C-alpha cells in the first residue's frame, strides 16, 4: 500500500510540474471556454431563442446554462491533452519504465488518470471563479456538490483518452485522431443546447446526443450545480469510465506489443 501511494504521489507531482511548466496550456484551458461564454453565448442565445426552465423549474440565462457544458469542455480537452503526454512518454521511453515498475499495470495507469483528473478539476474551478467575477454565480453549496461530478467526468474522458493513446503509433497522428473525438463529443452533447432543442432540429441528432456519454457527464455537472440528483447521469459516467479504462488496460497489454513496438 505504501508503495502504491508513493507511486500515486510521484505521478501526480510529475503531472503538476509538467502542467505548471506549460503556461500556454494553462492559458488555453481558460481562454477557450471564456471565448465561448463571452463571445458565442450572445449569438447562440439570439439564434436559438432559448428560454430554459426544465429541469430547474426557474428561468436561467443561456450563459448560466452553458457554464456546466464549458466546464465539461475543459475536462474533455485536458483529458485528451493528458493522453498526448502518454504518446510522448512512449516515444521517449518513459512509458516503458513506468509500466515495468513493480506495481500492477492497472494501478499505474489509474495513477496517471487520477493525476490528469485532478488538474482538470482545478482548471474547472478556476473557470468558475472567473465566471463568478463576471457575475455568473450559482448557489454556494453548488460549488461543493459539483466536485464529485467534475472528478467523475474527468475520469471518464481521461480514461477514453488513455484508451485512444494506446492505438496511436506516432505523435503526429494524435491531432487528427483527437479532432474526430473531441469536437463530435462536445458538439453532439448537451453542453451548448438542451435535448429538447436538438429534438426540434433533428430526431437523429437528439438520439446521438442521448447515446453520447459526454452528455451525461455534462448533465451530472449541471444538475449538481443546481443541487438536483441525477442517478442516470452518474450511472452512465461510472459505466463508461469502467469500459474506457478496460479498453486502456487492454491496449497497454504487453501481449499486444503496444509498448515494445517500434514507432
CA 180 to CA 203: how far, in whole Å?
22
Residue with cell string 504521489: 9
**Looking at the domain assignment, is residue 261 inside a domain?**
no
Which domain, by its residues, includes 10? 2-256
The answer to whether the beta carbons of residues 237 and 220 sit under 8 Å apart is yes
Task: Render pLDDT for 60-93 as a digit per residue (tens, 0 to 9).
Answer: 677 788 889 899 999 998 888 777 777 776 666 5
* Residue 97: pLDDT over 80: no
* DSSP type of residue 257: T
**Looking at the domain assignment, is residue 54 inside a domain?**
yes
**Looking at the domain assignment, is residue 262 inside a domain?**
no
**Looking at the domain assignment, is residue 251 inside a domain?**
yes
The CB-side HSE value for 196 (13 A sphere, CA atoms) comes to: 7
* Residue 53: pLDDT over 60: no
The CB-side HSE value for 84 (13 A sphere, CA atoms) comes to: 18
The answer to whether the beta carbons of residues 224 and 248 sit under 8 Å apart is no
* Residue 58: pLDDT over 50: no
Q: What total number of domains does the chain contain? A: 1
Q: Report pLDDT for 213.
A: 94
* Residue 229: pLDDT over 80: yes
**Looking at the domain assignment, is residue 263 inside a domain?**
no
CA 253 to CA 251: how far, in whole Å?
6
The CB-side HSE value for 163 (13 A sphere, CA atoms) comes to: 17
Average pLDDT, the chain: 79
Q: Report pLDDT for 194.
A: 81
Q: Report pLDDT for 259.
A: 43
Task: Render pLDDT for 176-202 as a digit per residue (tens, 0 to 9).
Answer: 766 788 888 988 888 888 887 777 777
Prediction pTM value: 0.84
Identify any residues that bridge with 62 across adjacent strands, giving them in sequence order. none
**Looking at the domain assignment, is residue 148 inside a domain?**
yes
**Looking at the domain assignment, is residue 73 inside a domain?**
yes
Confidence of residue 56 (pLDDT cuts 50, 70, 90): very low
Q: What mean pLDDT is predicted for residues 213-236? A: 92
* Residue 54: pLDDT over 50: no
CA 88 to CA 34: how far, in whole Å?
29
3-class state of residue 60 by DSSP = strand
Q: Report pLDDT for 85.
A: 74
**Looking at the domain assignment, is residue 184 inside a domain?**
yes
* Residue 160: pLDDT over 80: yes
Residue with cell string 426552465: 53
Confidence of residue 244 (pLDDT cuts 50, 70, 90): very high
Any idea which of 8-22, 74-88, 120-134 has the lowest mean pLDDT? 8-22
Amino acid at each position: 500500500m505504501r508503495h502504491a501511494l508513493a507511486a500515486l504521489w510521484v505521478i501526480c507531482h510529475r503531472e503538476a510540474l509538467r502542467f505548471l511548466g506549460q503556461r500556454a496550456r494553462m492559458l488555453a484551458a481558460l481562454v477557450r471556454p471564456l471565448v465561448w461564454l463571452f463571445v458565442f453565448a450572445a449569438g447562440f442565445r439570439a439564434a436559438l431563442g432559448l428560454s430554459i426552465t426544465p429541469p430547474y423549474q426557474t428561468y436561467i440565462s443561456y450563459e448560466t446554462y452553458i457554464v456546466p457544458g464549458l466546464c465539461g469542455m475543459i475536462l474533455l480537452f485536458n483529458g485528451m491533452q493528458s493522453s498526448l503526454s502518454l504518446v510522448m512518454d512512449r516515444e521517449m521511453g518513459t512509458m516503458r519504465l513506468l509500466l515495468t515498475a513493480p506495481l500492477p499495470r492497472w494501478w499505474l495507469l489509474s495513477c496517471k488518470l487520477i493525476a490528469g483528473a485532478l488538474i482538470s478539476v482545478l482548471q474547472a474551478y478556476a473557470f468558475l471563479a472567473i465566471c463568478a467575477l463576471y457575475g455568473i454565480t450559482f448557489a454556494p453549496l453548488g460549488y461543493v456538490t459539483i466536485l464529485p461530478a467534475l472528478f467523475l467526468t474527468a475520469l471518464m474522458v481521461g480514461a477514453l483518452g488513455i484508451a485512444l493513446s494506446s492505438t496511436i503509433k506516432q505523435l503526429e497522428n494524435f491531432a487528427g485522431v483527437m479532432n474526430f473525438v473531441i469536437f463530435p463529443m462536445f458538439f453532439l452533447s448537451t453542453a451548448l443546447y438542451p435535448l429538447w432543442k436538438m429534438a426540434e432540429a433533428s430526431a437523429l441528432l437528439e438520439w446521438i446526443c442521448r447515446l453520447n456519454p459526454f452528455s451525461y457527464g455534462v448533465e451530472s455537472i449541471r444538475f449538481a450545480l443546481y443541487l438536483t440528483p441525477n442517478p442516470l447521469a452518474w450511472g452512465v459516467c461510472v459505466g463508461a469510465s469502467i469500459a474506457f479504462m478496460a479498453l486502456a488496460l487492454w491496449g497497454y497489454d504487453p501481449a499486444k506489443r503496444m509498448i515494445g513496438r517500434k514507432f
